[in-house]
């Protein structure tokens, strides 16, 4: 259940980076996975929408990490 939750969260992050920042699949994957793991973004964000998305995604990821840890 924890793995499925993380996979869905990763897909949300990738979709957001692909939509707001026009990133390719691999770049979106690395940025979403780095934020989801708590490391931080890899590439500089260019658009205001992308920056707002990244902020909310980082907050979401932090809370998700606590929830999955509690679940396990």
Q: Considering only CA atoms, which of 71, 27, 68, 4 is closest in space to residue 13?
A: 27
pTM of the model: 0.89
> Which token pair is 10?
């990763």
pLDDT of residue 55: 93
Q: Give the distance, in angstroms, between the CA of residue 32 and the centroid of all CA atoms in the same chain.
A: 3
Instruction: Give per-10-residue mean pLDDT for the chain (72 aa).
Output: 91 96 96 90 92 94 88 83
């Amino acid at each position: 259940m924890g793995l499925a939750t993380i996979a869905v969260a990763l897909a949300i992050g990738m979709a957001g980076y692909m939509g707001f920042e026009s990133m390719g699949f691999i770049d979106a994957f690395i940025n979403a996975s780095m934020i989801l793991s708590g490391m931080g973004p890899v590439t500089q964000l260019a658009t205001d929408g992308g920056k707002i998305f990244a902020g909310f995604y980082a907050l979401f990821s932090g809370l998700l990490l606590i929830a999955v840890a509690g679940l396990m």
